[in-house]
A and B are shown apart, each in its own frame.
Chain A
Amino acid sequence: MRKFILVVLIAAVPFACGTVRADNQFESFAIQQAGKLLANPPLFVYEFQRNMETTTPLPPGKGLGVNYHFLGGILIVPLPDITTAYNISAKVRLHPEGRLYPGLPQLDLVAGRWKCLPAHKLEDSNASPTDSQTKVTNFDVGGHYVAAVVSSSLEPRVRLFWSLKASKLDVDVGLNKPTDVFGTQVQKFRGRLLEKTFAAGLEHTYAENKRWTIEGGYGMKNHLLSAKVAWSGRFLEMGFNIYPESVFIMQPQMNFHVYF
């Protein structure tokens, strides 16, 4: 795999070299992407939440799991993102595969939440409407989700899993006085995004505690597409979230998990 990543990077060099004289093209691209981002900020923020959400099933034999999203980000290099400071997800197995009767799939419930703790650092508790400068009086960004995950074995080492997930994201920003934002006077901004996502994926265990997963999802409310390709070890998960319509299509991530 490392060899393949190296090949990707090497292949990108001639492509990039061919584009060095295309400054205007990239500038135009950047403006277009910035426009997409500003057109729907909650949708952009929701990608961070989608990165921390997990809908893979608990490994066979495990009844409880805790997941922490450590690094994510919009660039090709994993970095701490706005969910890193405080996020947690828990998984609980309600029914192990084949317990009630042979063939009945495993059923897990997943729930998680996050909050952007650094956002509060931007707040100015002494701000008043008479201040000459625009100041942030409150800044609250966070969300939570719940999901049901059903998984069944196709072969001893391959499982197919399905999930249905409900997500909620809230963005609440207050300013000390009305401020011009692209021609509109804004003092408060409250955004909420609700989404229900249907996803299906395949898990391939190739060694003890080592798995590959691929997952595709569709957000039915906002027509959001997503895919995830990930490698998972005993405590670590690394992979890419792919959002075909995003400003940043391929987003790397690193998560920690513990299963009991």
Chain B
Amino acid sequence: MKKLVLILCLFIATADVGAVGLESRQFTPYFNMRVGQGAYLPNQGAFFTGANMNLGVGLLSKITDKHVLFALYNLDFRGQAFQFPNTQEFDSKSQAHLFSFEYRWNVGDRWRVRPSVAFGKTYTQTAAAEVWGHGLYDDKSAGLQLAGDYTFPIRQKDAVLTPMISRYVIRFPNYSDILREFRGENANTGLAGGLKDQVLLEFSLGFKYAPWRAKLRFNTVDFKSERVVQASATYGTDKQADSNVILEGGMDAKLWILETSPQIRFVTHKSNQNFLLFQSATDATPAFAGNYYGYKEVSLGLPVFLNMTKNWAASGELDLQKRTYDSRHPRDSQNQFVSGRQSDNMVTLSAGLRKRMNDVSAFTLTYSVTTARSNNKFERYLPSSYTGQGLVLAYQLTY
């Protein structure tokens, strides 16, 4: 009900004032939508289809030259698709709803300060039997953010430096540790909800100097209840704490009829959580694996568009993603740890066509071949090594 009220408030507020824009441009609506449908054929498992959809509607209200309000609703649906090895099933789905309200204040000639508040709700389906609203990993989030944009000249061109701090409280109302429930441990400690609740604190520094862009992010994820599992197969007193350092950069370039927007990303993920490898639900001597979740990852995206005519373009893209775990050993096909460190890779090669319908919308058709490889040979639950091909038809409109 609260969600309905919130949507109605946004609906009424923006509908009422949105129309004034034509005369005064005091209000500027924002609309972005992308829908895509894909067919996927992995070399193992069943053929499947999936779709994705992203809808963003917002309103920018210019109170004065220095004071602006921006309200945004974003709906992001991610359906079935190929996934990075050992992370999710192909059938996994999610839909996320995010409301954000940002105040933009121009301070002097150089600074723009942007405090904002955001609320979100994510529904997940990690298995075919789950229904929306009852997913194990459903979450609700609420948070505050403070960002600033500092504009300064470099060689007579504007550069923008953007420091940002944000804090989000994320709750997982449906999450439960099935093994602990099965064993009857901590029966009165609220396992049926709240175990995965966490606080996300992030600092970032962005830099834009056309055509270049870069961003450095650091965040910590402190779990409110989840504790660290010990080698003795019991939970200790320390609570789980994760952190991420993310460095990403990219640029846009155009040469003759060629366009490209390469981007690269490095991630270092740390976690104090360990792992117990059970061979069955009644296994009394599980294998202990310390520092199981820490990894380093690099990903690269290299799209190229060849503008054949004003409205038609051919495209090609290479996507690489490689993750190497700090301490996690790979497993053999019998679910036993073997020596070495687990390493997962995914390479996607795509070729396609883009047809512009007008200045703001386009259809794209993309054929891709995905190759995922992992030295983890145990893949009863999650896809590990596979090859697949996909055909995706998408429509995008941004206004």
Contacts and interface: CB of A to CB of B under 8 A. Distances in A.
B4 interface: yes
Interface in A49-95: none
A26 B47 CA distance: 6
B33 A227 contact: yes
Contact of A220 (B3, B17, B22): B3
A206 B358 CA distance: 9
A216 B3 contact: no
Interface-central residue, B16, B20, B47, B355, by most chain A CB under 10 Å:
B47
A11 B38 CA distance: 13
Given A103-B20, A212-B358, A220-B7, A245 B93 contact: yes
Contact of B395 (A158, A229, A245): A229
A122 B397 CA distance: 45
Interface stretch (A131-139, A147-155, A169-177): A147-155
B353 interface: yes
A28 B46 contact: yes
B15 A220 contact: no
Contact of B47 (A12, A22, A202, A218): A22
B29 A160 contact: yes
A11 B399 contact: no
A144 interface: no
Contacts of A4: 353, 355, 363, 365
Contact of B35 (A97, A164, A227): A227
Nearest to A227: B35
A152 B19 CA distance: 5
Interface in A207-260: 212, 214, 216, 218, 220, 222-223, 225, 227, 229, 242-245, 249-250
Interface in B55-95: 55, 57, 75, 77, 79, 93, 95
Nearest to A223: B132
A46 B360 CA distance: 32
Contacts of A206: 358
B366 to A, nearest CB: 9
A181 interface: no
A185 interface: no
Given A18-B389, A25-B46, A214 B397 contact: yes
Interface string A15-28: 10011001011101
A164 B23 contact: no
B361 A11 contact: no
A198 interface: yes
A97 B48 CA distance: 45
Nearest to B24: A103
Contacts of B355: 1, 3-4, 7
Contacts of A14: 367
Given A162-B14, A227-B53, A22 B7 contact: no
B288 interface: no
Interface string B39-57: 1010001111111110101
Contacts of A1: 355, 357
A231 to B, nearest CB: 10
B340 interface: no
Contacts of A142: none
B15 A162 contact: yes
Interface residues of A, number: 55
B11 A198 contact: yes
B41 A25 contact: yes
Contacts of B399: 154, 158, 160, 202
A14 B365 CA distance: 14
Nearest to B11: A162
Contacts of A225: 53, 75, 77, 95
Nearest to A158: B399
A138 B367 CA distance: 48
B55 A245 contact: no
Contacts of B123: 223
A198 B7 CA distance: 8
Interface-central residue, A220, A244, A249, A250, by most chain B CB under 10 Å:
A244
B397 A242 contact: no
B52 A244 contact: yes
A206 B51 CA distance: 29
B35 A242 contact: yes
A8 interface: yes
Interface string B345-381: 0000000010101101101010100000000000000
B236 interface: no
A104 B20 CA distance: 7
Interface-central residue, A1, A14, A98, A227, by most chain B CB under 10 Å:
A227
Contacts of B14: 162
A168 interface: no
Given A4-B363, A249-B49, A15 B391 contact: yes
Contacts of B39: 15
A188 interface: no
Nearest to B18: A152
A212 B357 contact: yes
Contacts of A218: 55, 75, 97
A7 B21 CA distance: 39
A22 B42 CA distance: 10
Contact of A7 (B31, B37, B353, B357): B353
A102 to B, nearest CB: 6
Nearest to B57: A200
A160 to B, nearest CB: 5
Contacts of B397: 202, 214
Contacts of B55: 200, 216, 218, 227
Interface in A86-140: 97-98, 102-105
Which 4 pairs show the lowest CB-CB distances between chains A and B? A152-B19, A244-B51, A103-B20, A223-B132
Given A1-B357, A103-B21, A202-B397, 5 more contacts: A14-B367, A25-B41, A216-B55, A244-B52, A245-B79
8 contacts: A7-B353, A25-B41, A29-B49, A32-B48, A153-B22, A202-B33, A244-B53, A245-B79
